[in-house]
Amino acid sequence: MHCRVADLRYRDVINIKDGCRLGCVNDIEIDTCSARVLCIVIYGRPRCFGLLGREDDIIIPWDNIEVIGEDTVLVCCDNKSTQKRKRFFEKFMQ
């Protein structure tokens, strides 16, 4: 099966360990030196309709992806082991 980045975006991501829906694929990180996909990024959920910002982004390494289906992406990862990326402006607030 061939899949483009545009086709992969906005597919639901489901964790097969607990059946939890993590969100939709919003971004992909690519290593330009080795031409490999490193991970998929799921943007954090908005807080209070987006007025209070949003939660941290969830980063899922490419090795944790089990199946890419027509509508969903199944991943196998612990909720504690998924990396969370802080947004750009939060780097300056520390």
More confident residue, 56 or 14: 14
pLDDT of residue 46: 75
pTM (2 decimals)? 0.74
Contacts of 44 (CB under 8 A, 6+ apart): 54, 55, 56, 57, 58
| CATH number, position 40 | 2.30.30.240
Q: How confident is the model at residue 89 (pLDDT cuts 50, 70, 90)?
A: low
- List CB contacts of 85: < 8 A, sequence separation 6 or more: 41, 56, 57, 59
Mind listing the pLDDT tens digit for each residue in 43-83?
887 778 767 777 888 999 999 999 999 899 999 988 655 56
Instruction: Give the count of domains, the chain.
Output: 1
- Estimate to the nearest angstrom the gap between the alpha carbon of 2 and the chain centroid: 20
Give the per-residue pLDDT at 90.
57
- Closest to 27 measured CA to CA, from 65, 59, 70: 59
Domain extent, residue 40, equals 5-91
- Name the 3-class secondary structure at 90: helix
Q: 36 near 65, Cβ under 8 Å?
A: no
Average pLDDT score, the chain? 83
